[in-house]
């Protein structure tokens, strides 16, 4: 069945460092891909999304490109800030064989000043 695998955390970086959080997926159809973020004490919220191959989603300095050939959707940011400390979830939505949304286990990011 469909699945999402993302790199284990926690990831600890210094402010202004480059961030990559890896995400790969398996899907029988052509899913849409999402990154959600959960800040401390808050609910999950959409960070960015891409709905077809080679699309790039971007928001708040974060980017991710839908790579069908490598079944990946890695999250990147060129210069992280302390306020980026949160848990990041990669997810897919697919309607092949019935609508479904599947989340990865989440990657916790700590950014030190």
CB 93 within 8 A of CB 74: no
Exactly one of 14, 28, 51, 59 binds other proteins (CB under 8 A); that residue is: 51
Closest of 44, 33, 47, 37 to residue 92, by C-alpha: 33
Tokens, residue 3: 């699945």
Which residues 53-112 are close enough to bind other proteins by CB under 8 A? 89, 91, 93-95, 98-101, 103-106
| Residue selected from 42, 69, 70, 113 as contacting other proteins according to rule CB under 8 A | 42
Contact with other proteins (CB under 8 A): which of 16, 26, 39, 46?
46
């Amino acid at each position: 069945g469909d699945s999402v695998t993302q790199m284990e955390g926690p990831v600890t970086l210094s402010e202004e460092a480059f961030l990559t959080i890896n995400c790969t997926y398996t899907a029988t159809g052509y899913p849409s891909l999402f990154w959600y973020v959960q800040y401390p004490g808050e609910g999950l919220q959409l960070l960015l999304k891409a709905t077809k191959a080679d699309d790039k989603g971007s928001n708040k300095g974060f980017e991710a490109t839908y790579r069908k050939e490598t079944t990946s959707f890695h999250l990147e940011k060129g210069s992280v800030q302390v306020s980026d400390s949160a848990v990041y979830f990669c997810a897919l939505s697919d309607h092949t064989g019935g609508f479904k949304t599947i989340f990865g286990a989440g990657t916790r990011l700590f950014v030190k000043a």
